[in-house]
Chains A and B, each alone.
Chain A
Amino acid sequence: MTWNRENKWRAGLVVLGVIFLFAAPNVFQLFTIINMTTAIAFAILALSLGLIWGYGGILCFGQTAFFGLGAYAYTVAAINFGGSTWAILVAILVAMLVAAVLGYFVFYGRVSDVYLAVITLTATLILYSLMRRTSGPEYKIGKSLLGGFNGITSPPLNMPWDTSQVLFPEHVFYVAMAALILAYILCSWLVQTQFGRVSVAIRENELRAELLGYDIRFYKMALFTVGGGIAAVAGVVFCNGVGRVTPDVFNLYNTALTIIWVIVGGRGTLIGPVLGAILLFYLTSSLGTQAVLNNNLVLGAILILFVLLVPKGIVPSFTEWWDNRRALRTSRRKEVRMRRRRSRLAEANGEAGDER
């Protein structure tokens, strides 16, 4: 089995993540830390899509649906409960429930490929259309008004079961980073379980998996549901980072962007989407601070160059380069050794050292 090497990498990444979690607030300025929360939220969202698309082959063009539902459910629940602890759970459950229902709807109808992409996209756009028009006092869930296009102010996180201790935005960073690390560990573990490996098998060949007796509809639905739950966590982190949730989370731009993060980072890896999201977030964010060139122009050009130069995405390209380098080094070492041996032999035989 080839898990060992990958797991070494993964463990290394987790350690790096933990170091970053504690070191970052000492290294970076306050606003950098606060703003990181949003980037981390996107990273978790990308991770969720990386899991279901990269490992399960489910091209979901509407992962932000669960992200947005998570954010909304958290906000509404936290306003009603007056605390965040149960609200987080509600957020995850709501998103997973919707994912399960949508998953049942599409996978048991054997919708796949671009058709699946369109259904998930459409579902997201429906949420977008509906949430935008919920301004007014008649749209409320419990104590929380939905707020329409302007969205709802999200109550900040508090310490578990202690609503008197509210976290400041700079402290939410810890929660966000911990959530990212935990989600990463969860995904890493999941893809190695029987469930994860069967999911990969389904991605590779649906018919074969079926003929082996696996109910691929169930596996896909289950994976989709897990992905929805992780996306909901991302949503909770996001609305804490931004302090607000608006229907924009469901718009076309954001949902397409999620796909772009995963492609940039590399499908079939878990760290790839995470890096893709963070990289593109900081790229667009730093583009916004310059006023020389149009942002779309620069970003578009970068993405086009990227797809031509790094076709497989960052992480797979890096791994390939690393492997090649190592293979090259070992083969070179071998060659040198061989050459030495040959020349020694030649010397011993009293012949002229011949290169060939």
Chain B
Amino acid sequence: MKGEIVLEARDLSMHFGGVHAVDQVNFALWDNELRCLIGPNGAGKSTFFKCLTGQHVPTHGDVVIRDVHVAGREPHQIARLGVGIKTQVPNVFDGLSVEENIWLSARRWHKAQRAKVLTQETLERLALGDIRSAIVGTLAHGQRQWVELGMVVAAEPWLVLLDEPAAGMTHEEVETTAELIREVNKTATMIVVEHDMQFIRMISNKVTVFHEGRILIEDTMDVISADERVREVYLGHKSQ
């Protein structure tokens, strides 16, 4: 089952002033995996995510994606390795149409002809066909999340990093999103940052738990949910 390691964090630390948001984290991701990162608010998972995607330059340590050292690289350089990234707050082109949003992603990697086809496919794959010419800024929150997911997918990345893809969604939307993620996982290795346990149960079985900037435990969902420490950490803050 385990192939090669495609993403690795080595002794990764991120300090803000005196705050150690991420503290000497060692982390490895294997090919074709779908890994969830969980943890209560302030556990450091989002900061960790931003270090992976180039939005933060880590204070110490390194991130290696398929033998490339990326710590300190610009986000676009990381994206160019074939990494698709979705941020926590929906980051979309609000003033443009759904179709243009997707096209901009597809066109980055492909010739005009192929980009057109890919845009079409993505719109269908994510069931965005009906709202293709809508201006993204006018859409509902959930739909904007999907548009962003569409942009990630349209680039045909081999590694996908998602930060809270289901945040702020209704129950039905969450289910659809879970489906989409499983679909994407067929062609890409994934990391999903999330704190909705139910959602995680829907998509993944291997979970990394963050707590106070460090990895608390890394195991299957079943083990995690039975773990005392995890429960303690979570119950204090958030009960799902």
Could you tell me which A residues sit within 8 Å of B by CB distance? 1-2, 194, 197-198, 200-201, 203-205, 207-217
| 6 A–B contacts, CB within 8 A, in A order | A200-B93, A210-B74, A211-B53, A212-B155, A213-B79, A215-B76
Could you tell me the distance in whole angstroms from the C-beta of A322 to the nearest C-beta in chain B?
18
Q: Are B93 and A213 in contact (CB under 8 A)?
A: no
Could you tell me which B residues sit within 8 Å of A by CB distance? 53, 55, 74-77, 79-80, 85-87, 91-97, 99-100, 103-105, 107-109, 112, 133, 148, 151, 155
CA distance A139 to B87 in the complex (A): 55
CA distance A217 to B77 in the complex (A): 12
- Which residues does chain B contribute within 8 Å of A217, judged by CB atoms? 74
Partner of B133, one of A2, A201, A212: A2
Q: Are B100 and A205 in contact (CB under 8 A)?
A: no
Partner of B91, one of A194, A200, A203, A207: A207
CA distance A194 to B103 in the complex (A): 10
Total A-B contacts with CB atoms under 8 angstroms apart: 71
- Which residues does chain B contribute within 8 Å of A207, judged by CB atoms? 55, 75, 87, 91
Could you tell me the distance in whole angstroms from the C-beta of A217 to the nearest C-beta in chain B?
8
Name the residue of chain B whose CB is nearest to the CB of A211: B85
Could you tell me the distance in whole angstroms from the C-beta of B44 to the nearest C-beta in chain A?
20
Q: Are A211 and B91 in contact (CB under 8 A)?
A: yes
Q: Are A208 and B108 in contact (CB under 8 A)?
A: no
Q: Are B76 and A208 in contact (CB under 8 A)?
A: no
Partner of A211, one of B87, B96, B97, B103: B87
Could you tell me the distance in whole angstroms from the C-beta of A88 to the nearest C-beta in chain B?
33
- Which residues does chain A contribute within 8 Å of B86, judged by CB atoms? 211
Could you tell me the distance in whole angstroms from the C-beta of A247 to the nearest C-beta in chain B?
39
CA distance A198 to B94 in the complex (A): 14
Task: Known A198-B104, A201-B104; judge A211-B79 contact (CB<8 A).
Answer: yes
Task: Known A204-B96, A205-B91; judge A197-B75 contact (CB<8 A).
Answer: no
Task: Known A2-B97, A2-B133, A213-B155; judge A208-B107 contact (CB<8 A).
Answer: no
Task: Known A200-B96, A201-B96, A205-B92; judge A213-B151 contact (CB<8 A).
Answer: no
Q: Are A212 and B104 in contact (CB under 8 A)?
A: yes
Further contacts, 16 of them, CB under 8 A, given A211-B75, A213-B109: A197-B104, A200-B93, A200-B96, A201-B93, A201-B104, A204-B95, A204-B96, A207-B55, A208-B87, A212-B79, A212-B105, A212-B108, A212-B151, A213-B76, A213-B155, A215-B74
- Which residues does chain B contribute within 8 Å of A194, judged by CB atoms? 107, 112
CA distance A204 to B148 in the complex (A): 14
- Which residues does chain B contribute within 8 Å of A209, judged by CB atoms? 76, 93, 104
Name the residue of chain B whose CB is nearest to the CB of A207: B91
CA distance A201 to B93 in the complex (A): 6
Task: Known A2-B133, A197-B100, A213-B155; judge A204-B94 contact (CB<8 A).
Answer: yes
Could you tell me the distance in whole angstroms from the C-beta of A2 to the nearest C-beta in chain B?
7
Q: Are A208 and B95 in contact (CB under 8 A)?
A: no
CA distance A216 to B104 in the complex (A): 13
Name the residue of chain B whose CB is nearest to the CB of A203: B95
Name the residue of chain A whose CB is nearest to the CB of B115: A194
- Which residues does chain A contribute within 8 Å of B112, judged by CB atoms? 194
Closest 6 CB pairs of A and B: A213-B79, A204-B93, A208-B91, A210-B75, A211-B85, A210-B76
Partner of A216, one of B76, B80, B85, B107: B76
CA distance A216 to B133 in the complex (A): 25
- Which residues does chain B contribute within 8 Å of A1, judged by CB atoms? 99
Which residue among A2, A197, A203, A210 has the maximum number of chain B CB atoms within 10 Å of its CB?
A: A210
- Which residues does chain B contribute within 8 Å of A208, judged by CB atoms? 87, 91-93, 148, 151
Which residue among A203, A205, A208, A217 has the maximum number of chain B CB atoms within 10 Å of its CB?
A: A208
- Which residues does chain B contribute within 8 Å of A200, judged by CB atoms? 93, 95-96
- Which residues does chain B contribute within 8 Å of A212, judged by CB atoms? 76, 79, 104-105, 108, 151, 155
CA distance A213 to B79 in the complex (A): 5
- Which residues does chain B contribute within 8 Å of A213, judged by CB atoms? 76, 79-80, 108-109, 155
CA distance A213 to B151 in the complex (A): 11
- Which residues does chain A contribute within 8 Å of B96, judged by CB atoms? 200-201, 204
CA distance A201 to B91 in the complex (A): 11
Which residue among B76, B95, B103 has the maximum number of chain A CB atoms within 10 Å of its CB?
A: B76
- Which residues does chain A contribute within 8 Å of B85, judged by CB atoms? 211
CA distance A213 to B53 in the complex (A): 11
Could you tell me the distance in whole angstroms from the C-beta of A215 to the nearest C-beta in chain B?
5
Could you tell me the distance in whole angstroms from the C-beta of B167 to the nearest C-beta in chain A?
17
Could you tell me the distance in whole angstroms from the C-beta of A268 to the nearest C-beta in chain B?
9
Could you tell me the distance in whole angstroms from the C-beta of A144 to the nearest C-beta in chain B?
43
Q: Are A210 and B87 in contact (CB under 8 A)?
A: no
- Which residues does chain A contribute within 8 Å of B107, judged by CB atoms? 194, 197
Name the residue of chain B whose CB is nearest to the CB of A268: B95
- Which residues does chain B contribute within 8 Å of A215, judged by CB atoms? 74, 76-77
- Which residues does chain B contribute within 8 Å of A210, judged by CB atoms? 74-76, 79
Could you tell me the distance in whole angstroms from the C-beta of A303 to the nearest C-beta in chain B?
27
CA distance A207 to B100 in the complex (A): 17
Name the residue of chain A whose CB is nearest to the CB of B161: A211
CA distance A162 to B181 in the complex (A): 67
Which residue among A212, A213, A214 has the maximum number of chain B CB atoms within 10 Å of its CB?
A: A212
- Which residues does chain B contribute within 8 Å of A2, judged by CB atoms? 97, 133
Could you tell me the distance in whole angstroms from the C-beta of B231 to the nearest C-beta in chain A?
35
Could you tell me the distance in whole angstroms from the C-beta of A92 to the nearest C-beta in chain B?
29
Task: Known A2-B133, A211-B79, A213-B80; judge A205-B108 contact (CB<8 A).
Answer: no
